[in-house]
Amino acid sequence: MRLVKNDLNEVLSIFRKNHPTLNPKEQTIIQACQVRLTNKNEPQERELLTIIQSLRTLSLNQELSTAGRLLLKKLQRKQWLWGLLNQSPFFGR
């Protein structure tokens, strides 16, 4: 699965189709994120951080399924990569 900045909503839709074992809480979090992503004024980076934080909270409460862990891992990797790319101009000085 390719994670590109402009297709977070598409990635979440595909993930939900490919992983029917998501528990109801995880599905609710993903659906709410997708609804907020349809609002063009809401930055995707903020939604990415929101969904990561929500999944981490589920993980802390021992309520995260295996599919939820996989999604959290992929989203955190994407967030880490974009954070690194956003800071790269400062490394050249």
Q: What is the pLDDT of residues 79-92, one digit of tens each?
A: 766 555 555 555 55
pTM across the whole model: 0.77
Write down the pLDDT at residue 83. Answer: 59
Write down the pLDDT at residue 4. Answer: 44
The three state secondary structure string of the chain is CCCCHHHHHHHHHHHHHHCCCCCHHHHHHHHHHHHHHCCCCCCHHHHHHHHHHHHHHHHHCCCCCHHHHHHHHHHHHHHHHHHHHHHHHHHCC
Write down the pLDDT at residue 79. Answer: 73
Write down the pLDDT at residue 2. Answer: 46
Asked if residue 54 has pLDDT above 60, the reply is yes
